[in-house]
Amino acid sequence: MHKILEPIITFLFKIAAAIVFLALVGVIYAMVSEGFPGLREIGVWNFLSGTKWQPTNHVYGILPMIFASLGVTFGAILLGVPTGLLVAIFINEILARRFRVYLIGLINLMAAIPSVVYGFWGVAVIVPYIARIQLPGNSMLAAILVVSLMILPTMISLTLNGLRSVSADEKAASLALGESRMLTVWRVCIPRIRVTLQAAVILAFGRAIGEATAVVLVAGNHVQIPRSVFSSVRTLTANTVMEMGYATGLHRQALMATGLVLFIFIILVNILLSMLMHVKKEK
């Protein structure tokens, strides 16, 4: 029986892996096949450095949206990643065991909330508070705050799983040498979960830069290079979501080229983080 089942199970695993690979190839092919013709007609430099996006006049420049996407993404990462790390440490090292299941359940619930609900929350709560400081309230700061909240479940869950993988013997050895519990976490646990943290940051980065629905609701959607966090902005993903439904011809190709730029950027960030982690590991 085992001799019959093993080849079948192995074949199913191969099929599953092939499906994932073919799906990735299909996504890349769709973006390249439709994006490259648009880039050739518009011009790569004009597309990347242009400051105006006017499809009716066949003017396609995404520089303001690149700045907006980077501002929202890195702002959300700077807020969400340290917060997620600290919350994970709190749950694993400080919070009483009987309460952990409730807080973890709440975090899992946050991960299941649709992005549009976060957007509604941002419109109802965040935007009015920002408007008290500077009108209109719909701004890059609102998008940063909403997206940073959205990446918290990913960051917390992965970091928490990594912390749980650290053996109790290593912690006990550190404590026996006179280290405090928090110093043990920073000197023993954090170095052990370096790879997990890298994965968490990459996933959080992908979620942040790829978020569209919530950002559309709170960012203001004004195509301009942001002068401050209170500027109304439009990100690359928000632009695609807003216009893809009716885009045709060169307009559609320009939107697909936007997706290609995002895809390349995420790959470059992934490579950069991997290199940084490799350098730290060698040191």
Q: Is residue 17 part of a domain?
A: no
What range does the domain containing 118 cover? Answer: 48-282
Instruction: Tell me the pLDDT tens digit for each residue of 146-180.
Output: 999 998 988 888 888 888 877 777 777 776 766 77
Q: Is residue 245 part of a domain?
A: yes
Q: Is residue 176 part of a domain?
A: yes
**Of 198 and 109, which is predicted with more confidence?**
109
Q: Is residue 278 part of a domain?
A: yes
Q: Is residue 7 part of a domain?
A: no
Q: Specify burial of residue 64 (Cβ count, 10 A radius: 0-12, 13-18, 19+).
A: buried
pLDDT, position 26:
87
Q: Is residue 252 part of a domain?
A: yes
Q: Is residue 153 part of a domain?
A: yes
pLDDT, position 283:
54
The neighbour count for residue 220, using CB atoms within 10 Å, is 23
Spacing of C-alpha 201 from chain mean position = 8
CATH of the domain at 74: 1.10.3720.10
Rounded mean pLDDT of 255-265?
Answer: 86
Instruction: Tell me the pLDDT tens digit for each residue of 1-35.
Output: 566 777 778 888 889 989 989 998 888 888 888 88
Mean per-residue pLDDT over the chain, rounded? 84
Q: Is residue 36 part of a domain?
A: no
Instruction: Tell me the pLDDT tens digit for each residue of 194-253.
Output: 777 777 787 788 888 888 888 888 988 888 888 888 889 988 888 888 888 888 888 888
Q: Please answer whether residues 56 and 128 qualify as being in contact, where contact means their C-beta atoms are separated by less than 8 angstroms.
A: no
The count of domains in the chain is: 1
Give the integer Cα–Cα distance in Å for 200 and 194. Answer: 10
pLDDT, position 1:
59
Instruction: Tell me the pLDDT tens digit for each residue of 117-152.
Output: 999 999 999 999 998 887 788 889 999 999 999 989
